[in-house]
Amino acid sequence: MSYIIDGKAISKQIKDELKDEVSQLNCEGISICLAVVQVGNDPASSVYVRNKKRACEYIGIKSAAYELEESTTEEELVKLISELNSSDEIDGILVQLPLPKHIREDLIIQSIAPEKDVDGFHPVSVGNLCIGRSGFISCTPAGIIQLLKRSEIEITGKECVIIGRSNIVGKPMSILLLRENGTVTVTHSQTVDLKKVTSRADILIVAIGKPKFITADYVKDGAVVIDVGIHRDENNHLCGDVDFEDVEKKVSAITPVPGGVGPMTIAMLMENCVEAARKKSHR
Ligand code: GUN
């Protein structure tokens, strides 16, 4: 029997800590506002955006919603971000990804002021992370570190294998695990003999983007498995990149989908918003 890492409960714990912190800040006359920008109406993005606004409400952070037409131009979006950058009312800016094809994501990310980059995607934030300076950290990998720490899973000296090299998850995850003294391997679509590499992992982080791809034969006995994926299976049930039923029997701890990594991403976004407001109050 493996330990099921309860991301929902851990994220609730973090949100409750933040709620107290926000009410303390409110007493000091500091209120917090997150700008949430969505372009078009991709159904999955709409769900994420709704959950982020709900978390803001729970914690006591205001959210300012900007729901823009699919046909919005790059120039129009950059203009909005520039206004949000200079607004004293706004502490953090979140532009939900993916953006429509005609808008360059990297250009939009770069147009966000680094001090309001609560997603941690700006090159300044990424650079700070790489060289060990403080700054905003991409929410999903930051949430995974919290899941491990709050479940008392040791990272120091462990073989950590990440599947996936995205800018949002795989790459920042590798830096964070390195910072926690893990021995880190990043695998990707061109990796030769993936199974051989994943089978040596003490901690396996799976962000491959394929439903139930990772079966028991990819994991070592007693490993810790963190599943970043979220999909609908053939019965329209939510599932991850990991075949939970198959893998669960073999590992020491595993995150479920839903209720694992997903809620942690939002909790970390909230933490970044509180940090943005705190830093602003010290400027
Ligand atoms: N799309 C998928 N994950 C994320 C995220 O963490 N932040 C934003 N802005 N968009 C996303």
User: Edge-to-edge strand order for the sheet containing 253-254?
Assistant: 3-4, 253-254, 224-227, 203-206, 159-163, 183-187
In which residue ranges of the chain is pLDDT below 70? Answer: none
CATH 3.30.450.20 given to domain 30-114 = no
Q: How far is the CA of 98 from the centre of ligand 1 (A)?
A: 7
Q: Which amino acid is at 29?
A: G
- Alpha helices in 122-218, H assignment, sequence order: 123-130, 139-150, 170-179, 194-198
Residue whose CA lies nearest to ligand 1 atom number 4: 97
Pocket of ligand 1 (CB under 6 A): 94-97, 119, 139-140, 168, 265
Fold exhibited by the domain 139-262: Rossmann fold (3.40.50)
Residue whose CA lies nearest to ligand 1 atom number 2: 97
Residue recorded with tokens 């999909």: 231
Q: How far is the CA of 21 from the centre of ligand 1 (A)?
A: 25
- Contact between residue 264 and residue 169 where contact means Cβ atoms under 8 Å apart: no
pLDDT per position as a tens digit, 252-279:
999 999 999 999 999 999 999 999 999 9
Catalytic residues, by residue number, are: 52, 96, 119
Q: How far is the CA of 138 from the centre of ligand 1 (A)?
A: 9
Tokens of 149: 């720490």
Res 283: pLDDT: 76
Give, for ligand 1, the residue of 49, 103, 119 to mutate: max count of ligand atoms closer than 8 Å to Cβ. 119
Residue whose CA lies nearest to ligand 1 atom number 1: 97
Q: How far is the CA of 265 from the centre of ligand 1 (A)?
A: 9
CA of 9: how far to CAs of 13, 30, 62, 147, in Å? Answer: 6, 28, 23, 10
- Contact between residue 175 and residue 162 where contact means Cβ atoms under 8 Å apart: no
- Contact between residue 129 and residue 135 where contact means Cβ atoms under 8 Å apart: yes
Res 144: pLDDT: 99
Q: At what angle do helices 170-179 and 123-130 cross, to 10 degrees?
A: 30
- Residue boundaries of the structural domains of the chain: 30-114, 139-262
- Contact between residue 245 and residue 120 where contact means Cβ atoms under 8 Å apart: no
User: Cα–Cα distance between 199 and 261 in angstroms, integer?
Assistant: 22
Give, for ligand 1, the residue of 53, 97, 103, 270 to mutate: max count of ligand atoms closer than 8 Å to Cβ. 97
Tokens of 67: 């729901």
Q: How far is the CA of 277 from the centre of ligand 1 (A)?
A: 20
Give, for ligand 1, the residue of 48, 52, 171, 228 to mutate: max count of ligand atoms closer than 8 Å to Cβ. 48
Residue whose CA lies nearest to ligand 1 atom number 11: 97
C-alpha gyration radius of the chain? 19
DSSP string, 76-101: HHHHHHHHHHH-TT-SEEEE-SSPPT
Task: Please determine whether the domains at 30-114 and 139-262 fall in the same fold group of CATH.
Answer: yes
Atom of ligand 1 nearest to the CA of 168: 6
